[in-house]
Structure 1
């Protein structure tokens, strides 16, 4: 395990999903771009990459608002289309080895949770294909709370389910929204981006 990723004296570890535990950036972009193409909307990858901390629902709503778009389908229908496209490739998703090393090091030593702005069905289906699937005490998703990141709700619910005070939790994140959510929850946070992305900013 990289020393920069050591959680210190944390009482629990909370892991974001997309981009933190797993390398889903390209698959997520292609799924969302495909769903939006059905609406005649071209999704710019740079715009998408800058907003990966948002849930799919929040991302579509923001895109429509910023672009003044009139969508043929509801936001929920577009996101369901996105999710189905993603699930076709779920078996191809891989864990970031740098973060898997943290999970392996503290499995059985500290309570751990996945705390993500993604959809429960998508995460559970993808997790089923991965070797880390049995290592987490709980899973909290955007489906479980009223507000997604950058609100702290997801992280606070995960801490509550693990029975650990927020101030004793360390969060692993890869987005500005997620880091803001961890700070709002009064939790320590480790930005994994320097360790999971290749030089030049491309996704590992």
Structure 2
């Protein structure tokens, strides 16, 4: 009899690294010239959504013209990369879990709504974990639709050459869990300190 699950796919932000507070800080840095600020409680409601959705909602929440997202998004990317490069630790328990999965020969992947440059900054530079630690990494640019659509997780399963129903996915947000379930995978929900 073979094991029912053959791979583990991790979300990145809030699962491997508690980077959500950094995204929050970057949003407020970009808003600073407007004299506006979003509160953490309001921002938390946007976790796990696409960047365009997040910015549209941020601008509405703080009372700015939501049709002008492009100018905010452009400044956000550069600010965010700088902040994500700061040294940070993996969430407690992640490193031994990855080591155990690798020891057992279980393929591991990352499926994140973050952009490639952000992934490289968070994992490679900030957390100091080589990207080739993972058998596959899927970031936002590689799929048509982000979470809550299943595209990121389906692409990760494809790259691992494992059927989606044989994958376990670890997530921390409602849109992420929706994405996992839509992909036909078994979902495990965890909570970082920020989520």
- Aligned partner of 2:88 in structure 1 is 93
Structure 2 length-normalised TM = 0.86
Structure 1 length-normalised TM = 0.82
Q: Which runs of 4+ in 1 moved over 4 A?
A: 65-68
Alpha-carbon displacement from aligned partner over 1:33-85 (angstroms, at most 9, x marks no partner): 1113334542121111122111322211233456773258x534423422322
* The one of 1, 20, 33 aligned to 1:25: 20
Q: Distance in 2 between matches of 1:40 and 1:10?
A: 50
Question: Per residue, is there more helix in 1 or in 2?
Answer: 2
For the aligned residue pairs, the C-alpha RMSD in angstroms reads: 2.3
- Aligned partner of 1:156 in structure 2 is 154
Alpha-carbon displacement from aligned partner over 1:125-148 (angstroms, at most 9, x marks no partner): 222233432310111111111211
3-state SS of 1:171 partner? strand
Q: Distance in 2 between matches of 1:68 and 1:31?
A: 18
Structure 2: state its 5+ residue gaps. Answer: none
Aligned counterparts, 1:6-21, within 5 A:
9-21=4-16
3-state SS of 1:17 partner? coil
Aligned counterparts, 1:1-204, within 5 A:
9-64=4-59, 69-70=64-65, 74-89=68-83, 90-107=85-102, 109-129=105-125, 130-133=127-130, 134-193=132-191, 196-197=192-193, 203=194
